[in-house]
Amino acid sequence: MVDLTDIRAVAADLPRSYEVLVRDRIKFRVGQIVYLAVAPDEQTIGIGFPREERAAALAAEPDKFLPPRPSDERFQWIEVRLAALEFDELRELILDAWAMCVPKKVRAEYFGKS
């Protein structure tokens, strides 16, 4: 199982990423775009996720993925249970969400070095 410490460890090295606290929720942003939000109880996260892949992920792994709140359905977003994740999968989800938010040049420079 992963936790907030693991999330911070992955997000800390991402260019242009920073952490904020908004209404008791820890969020990670690139500019003003939120790509990851931790639930107040730290049991789930909301994370940037391709909208066109959301239904397949929800159907394939309902124990891991939850649909976003109705107010977030229009966004590229999905909810994830932290207890269902291993560190490598968490890292992949965070990198994919972050990559959706940064300019192509920043993404290319980061993935070229990692």
pLDDT in tens, 64-94: 999 999 988 899 999 999 999 999 999 999 9
Mean pLDDT, the chain, rounded, equals 95
The residue whose two tokens read 């939120």 is 34
Average pLDDT of the residues in 32-55: 96
Strand order in the sheet with 17-22: 17-22, 25-30, 33-38, 44-48, 77-81, 65-66
Helix axes 4-11, 87-99, angle to 10 degrees: 50
Domain residue ranges of the chain, discontinuous segments joined by +: 4-105
pLDDT band at 114 (very low <50, low <70, confident <90, very high): low
Tell me if 36 sits within 8 A of 28, measured CB to CB.
Answer: yes
Report the C-alpha gap between 77 and 46 in whole angstroms: 7
Report the C-alpha gap between 11 and 17 in whole angstroms: 7
Is the pLDDT assigned to residue 43 strictly greater than 60? yes
Cα–chain-centroid distance for residue 21?
15
According to the model, what pLDDT value does residue 30 have?
Answer: 97
Is the pLDDT assigned to residue 104 strictly greater than 90? yes
Percent of the chain with pLDDT over 70: 98
Token digits of residue 76 = 């590229």
Task: Say what the pTM is.
Answer: 0.94
Class of domain 4-105: alpha beta
